[in-house]
């Protein structure tokens, strides 16, 4: 499955909208870091990606096993340190409610921890690379929006 997401900042602000498949999210910096604090920052989105992936996978795997989950709650925690700041790791906790024996739910959580795509991608060191950069300086005439330039 291929993915493509996009962000575009609102003119003159650090606030951006991100979207994929018709869904949107607001991305911003905290006010004390020059933003308007209107949305998630990148570090929060990274942690949310882990929590969201695990949550989705719990429901997917439960269904495949014939288990019915009634609620799932996750918390992902971590910090960024150093210069430049990098993640010191992400720890997550999960709470699961369902119409199944507790032992089956514990096995489900353990299974998902071993197969969840985002945690495994991070654990295995997914490569991230800049594939293209277009810059538009004050000494250039800007291309019209949507022209690809």
Contact present, 109 and 117 (Cβ < 8 Å): no
Per-residue confidence (pLDDT) for residue 98, from 0 to 100: 97
Coil, helix or strand for 4? coil
Q: How far apart are the first and last CA of the chain?
A: 28
Q: Domain locations in the chain?
A: 1-40, 41-124
Per-residue confidence (pLDDT) for residue 132, from 0 to 100: 96
pLDDT along the chain (149 residues), means of 10: 92 94 95 93 96 98 97 97 95 97 98 98 96 90 65
Per-residue confidence (pLDDT) for residue 83, from 0 to 100: 96
Per-residue confidence (pLDDT) for residue 140, from 0 to 100: 78
Strand partners, 20: 23
Per-residue confidence (pLDDT) for residue 133, from 0 to 100: 95
Q: Which residue has the tokens 């060191």?
A: 125
Q: Give the pTM.
A: 0.87
The pairs formed by 86-90 with CB atoms below 8 angstroms and a separation of 24 or more are 87/43, 87/46, 90/46, 90/47, 90/50, 90/119, 90/122
How far is 40 from 45, CA to CA, in rounded Å? 6
8-state DSSP, 32: G
Structure tokens at 59: 């429901």
Contact present, 72 and 60 (Cβ < 8 Å): no
Which residues 6+ apart lie within 8 Å of 123 measured at CB?
none
Which residues 6+ apart lie within 8 Å of 68 measured at CB?
62, 98, 99, 100
Does domain 41-124 bear CATH number 3.30.300.20? Answer: yes
């Amino acid at each position: 499955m291929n993915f493509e997401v996009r962000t575009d900042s609102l003119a003159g602000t650090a606030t951006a909208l991100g979207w994929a498949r018709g869904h949107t999210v607001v991305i911003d910096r905290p006010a004390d870091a020059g933003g308007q604090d209107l949305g998630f920052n990148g570090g929060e989105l990274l942690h949310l990606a882990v929590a969201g992936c695990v949550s989705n996978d719990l429901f997917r795997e439960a269904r495949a096993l014939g288990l019915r989950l009634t609620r799932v709650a996750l918390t992902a925690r971590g910090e960024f340190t150093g210069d430049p700041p990098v993640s010191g790791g992400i720890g997550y906790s999960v709470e699961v409610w369902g119409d199944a024996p507790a032992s089956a739910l514990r096995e489900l959580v353990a299974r998902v921890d071993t197969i969840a795509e985002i945690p495994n991608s991070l654990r295995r060191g997914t490569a991230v690379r800049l594939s293209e950069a277009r810059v538009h300086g004050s000494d250039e005439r800007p291309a019209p929006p949507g022209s690809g330039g």
